[in-house]
């Protein structure tokens, strides 16, 4: 610990030299006008800042509310894969939902990244692109073929470099489906687990759970080896990849951290349409609000929570809701902040008659040895994804009564209804590891929700968190599909491969044996899998609604474009960072074409 503290102090002392273009206060900025201002240095915002500043004649500012990802005493928490389970609250917005009726009126934590790299700096590093059906749905919905799988596949390749990090890696993936020169490193599991062989045997014994050689082919269905955004033993985030030391040293790119954008400013009118090319920033609620200006565009990449909140604070949103907070409406957009979609999940645990990774938390000597290996070679369990070595994407059978009665909520036959995360340890976002026992766990995740939630203002201050209602499990379809996912998890662990390994179901999950008991368990245990999307969705082809057009420009105003997960009209059956990297890469090209920068 002393060594880490000393290293952190050294990093802080050197940050002025290493991060020459990273500023911690707006009064340090060398100018107050840029060609492009990117609001949010997260998963998509870092991509936009990096790609637009490739042209040395273009000036770019990216503003991040959180700290830098490279300096401070806790940066090892966002660099080291093992720590994904315990990221410090200093890198989290620390949001909490409103009471959720379908979850027994519980409020639940709603983690989002508050640091350069955004949620790509604190997530579980799953690299899953989704199905070709999901991209093709967007193309058909918007009438823009550029959003289809065939085109978006090349943008996802552009963002990725696959590392064959172990002797077995090449056999665990289809190498031809992956990038070789992108900023984001992806890799296969680097540390064998006690349950790896049993997972594979289950795919051989039980046709309900087929093996998939590479879930990122456009057909994710089945169980496959997990691909993670980990490179050379460290987390690969949008900050490490797109805002590396070399990139942030560009003379035309400034990065402002620890600063909140409090309001967008109308700067004129064009043909009766407001122009919004200004904004105000402040360090805290009591500091001076400093105006900044963009000559070409302001790009909103503040995420599915932050982007609608900022637009509302600026007079864009439901006029009635804005007036309730004494905000003068500039543009009435009732749909802004609506359409929130996310993946709810529940943990399931079993006791096993073998050791598990839980011993790392119980035996300091084991953890010390693991860190000694990691610090020497960046290998071992500390370098591995704590979310496990396999992931499953599964559909209900075609003759399912749920689908026959309620319809199919997915975008097509290649899109999953639910996900399994399978880990050799005790898994829960809310309950601590028991003092005794060895465990394996599965996370059962609903990835085809029909419920919709919302983001709304709590006040007229950018320093107050908005009201977050993910709307979990409000529909019959959602509850029944997640119930079926829990039953499928029990069928999975009842396969012969687990006969001499699993002792019994553990804790409250042991009672999940009937639909009624499972429904009660879900209401008591469900939380977010941290994939909110849709609060500023793209408009359909003949759609008078929506917030942005298919080129991601905000409808009804000049100067604003949104590039983050809020623009998705429908959630993917995937973790969202891989699709979002593709979206941001395409968006950067759209901006360059619009301003004749290519």
* Within a domain: 18: yes
Please write the tens of the pLDDT for every residue from 349-393: 999 999 889 999 899 999 999 999 999 999 999 999 999 999 999
* Within a domain: 586: yes
Tell me what the mean pLDDT of segment 40-53 comes to: 99
* Within a domain: 466: no
Please write the tens of the pLDDT for every residue from 212-235: 999 999 999 999 999 999 999 999
Work out the burial of residue 224: count CB atoms within 10 Å of its CB; fewer than 13 is exposed, 13-18 middle, 19 or more buried: buried
* Within a domain: 509: no
| Range scoring the smallest mean pLDDT among 196-200, 216-220, 325-329, 512-516 | 512-516
Res. 248: pLDDT tops 80: yes
**Banded model confidence at residue 493, pLDDT cuts 50, 70, 90:** very high
Average pLDDT, the chain: 95
Contact 243, 49 (CB under 8 A): yes
Res. 4: pLDDT tops 70: no
Contact 392, 422 (CB under 8 A): yes
What's the structural domain count of the chain? 1
CATH number at 252 reads: 3.50.50.60
- Rounded CA-CA distance 200/225 in Å is 10
Res. 399: pLDDT tops 80: yes
Please write the tens of the pLDDT for every residue from 145-193: 999 999 999 999 999 999 999 999 999 999 999 999 999 999 999 999 9
User: What domain range is 245 assigned to?
Assistant: 2-73+239-338+534-594
pLDDT value at position 20? 52
* Within a domain: 516: no
* Within a domain: 172: no
* Within a domain: 565: yes
Q: What is the 3-state secondary structure (H, E, C) of 502-557?
A: EEEECHHHHHCCCHHHHHHHHHHHCEECCCCECCCCECCCCCCCCCECCCCEECCC
Residues 6+ apart with CB under 8 A from 579: 129, 130, 134, 135, 152, 156, 568, 572
Strand partners, 441: 349, 423
* Within a domain: 563: yes
């Amino acid at each position: 610990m002393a060594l880490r503290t000393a290293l952190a102090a050294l990093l802080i002392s050197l940050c002025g030299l290493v991060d020459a273009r990273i500023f911690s206060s707006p009064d340090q900025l060398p100018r107050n006008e840029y060609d492009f201002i990117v609001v949010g240095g997260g998963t998509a915002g870092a991509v936009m800042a990096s790609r637009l500043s490739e042209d040395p004649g273009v000036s770019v500012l990216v503003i991040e509310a959180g700290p830098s990802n490279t300096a401070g005493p806790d940066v090892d928490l966002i660099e080291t894969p093992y720590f994904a389970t315990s990221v410090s609250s200093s890198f989290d917005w620390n949001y909490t939902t409103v009471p959720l009726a379908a979850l027994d009126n519980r409020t639940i934590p709603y983690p989002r990244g508050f640091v350069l790299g955004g949620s790509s700096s604190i997530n579980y590093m799953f690299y899953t692109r989704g199905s070709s059906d999901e991209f093709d749905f967007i193309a058909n919905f918007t009438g823009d073929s550029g959003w289809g799988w065939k085109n978006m596949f090349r943008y996802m390749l552009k963002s990725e470099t696959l590392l064959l990090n172990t002797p077995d890696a090449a056999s665990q993936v289809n190498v031809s489906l992956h990038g070789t020169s992108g900023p984001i490193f992806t890799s296969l599991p680097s540390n064998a687990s006690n349950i790896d062989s049993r997972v594979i045997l289950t795919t051989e014994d039980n046709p309900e759970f087929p093996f998939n050689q590479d879930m990122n082919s456009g057909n994710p269905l089945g169980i496959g080896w997990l691909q993670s955004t980990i490179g050379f033993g460290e987390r690969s985030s949008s900050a490490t990849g797109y805002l590396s030391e070399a990139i942030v040293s560009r003379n035309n790119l400034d990065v402002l951290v620890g600063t909140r954008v409090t309001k967008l400013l109308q700067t004129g009118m064009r043909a009766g349409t407001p122009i919004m090319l200004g904004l105000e920033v402040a360090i805290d609620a009591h500091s001076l609000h400093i105006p900044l200006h963009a000559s070409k565009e302001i790009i909103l990449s503040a995420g599915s929570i932050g982007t609608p909140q900022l637009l509302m604070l600026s007079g864009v949103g439901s006029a009635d809701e804005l007036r309730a907070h004494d905000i003068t409406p500039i543009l009435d957009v009732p749909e802004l902040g609506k359409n929130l979609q996310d993946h709810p999940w529940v943990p399931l645990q079993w006791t096993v008659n073998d050791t598990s990774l839980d011993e790392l938390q119980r035996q300091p000597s084991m953890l010390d040895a693991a860190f000694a290996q990691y610090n020497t070679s960046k290998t071992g369990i500390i370098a591995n994804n704590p979310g496990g070595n396999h992931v499953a994407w599964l559909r209900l059978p075609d003759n399912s009564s749920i689908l026959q009665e309620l319809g199919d909520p997915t975008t097509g036959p290649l899109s999953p209804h639910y996900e399994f995360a399978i880990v050799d340890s005790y898994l829960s976002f809310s309950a601590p590891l028991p003092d005794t026992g060895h465990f394996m766990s599965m996370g059962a995740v609903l990835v085809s929700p029909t419920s919709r939630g919302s983001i709304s203002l709590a006040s007229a201050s950018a320093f107050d968190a908005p009201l977050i209602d993910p709307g979990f499990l409000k529909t019959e379809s959602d509850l029944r599909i997640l119930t079926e996912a829990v039953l499928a998890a029990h069928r999975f662990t009842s396969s012969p491969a687990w006969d001499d390994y699993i002792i019994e179901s553990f804790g409250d999950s042991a009672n999940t044996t009937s639909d009624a008991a499972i429904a009660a368990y879900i209401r008591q245990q469900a939380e977010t899998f941290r994939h909110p999307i849709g609060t500023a969705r793209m408009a359909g082809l003949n759609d008078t609604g929506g917030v942005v057009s298919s080129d991601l420009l905000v409808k009804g105003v000049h100067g604003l474009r949104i590039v983050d997960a809020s623009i998705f009209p429908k959630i993917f059956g995937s973790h969202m960072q891989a699709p979002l990297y593709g979206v941001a890469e395409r968006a950067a090209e759209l901006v360059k074409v619009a301003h004749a920068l290519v």
